[in-house]
Amino acid sequence: MKSSTASVTVKLHGGPFNGQSAVAYGAIVGKLIEVNHKSYRITKIEPVPGWRELVAQADFEDKPKVAVAVVAKAKPDITPR
């Protein structure tokens, strides 16, 4: 896996930020990045010809929905004294 030590401009595909760009530091192919609490997986990193910069592509990954258990509590018995 190729790792970058500098910032990488990442083109986002899918999800709420489709077509927008983000900046990732130390990007690695296969790594998940968080963009405003949404997950994107880096799929490709390429150098920009003639520049000392890297660009990457990332695909949206839906987080699995976690079931939340709701526990009903009994109301305390409030009686005037």
How does pLDDT run across 49-69, given as a tens digit for each residue? 998 889 999 999 987 666 666
Ramachandran region of residue 50, left (φ > 0), alpha (ψ -120 to 50) or beta?
left
Structural domain including 53 reads 7-61
Question: Which residues does residue 40 pair with via DSSP β-bridges, in sequence order?
Answer: 33, 60
What's the number of domains the chain is made of?
Answer: 1
Q: How far apart are CA 6 and CA 14, in angstroms?
A: 25
Q: Is residue 72 part of a domain?
A: no
Q: How far apart are CA 44 and CA 2, in angstroms?
A: 10
Q: Give yes or no for a contact between 34 and 56, defined as CB atoms under 8 angstroms apart.
A: no
pTM of the model as a whole: 0.70
Tens-place pLDDT, residues 4-49: 557 899 999 999 999 999 999 988 999 999 999 899 999 999 998 9
Q: Is residue 17 part of a domain?
A: yes
Q: Is residue 21 part of a domain?
A: yes
Residues in the chain: 81
Q: Is residue 47 part of a domain?
A: yes
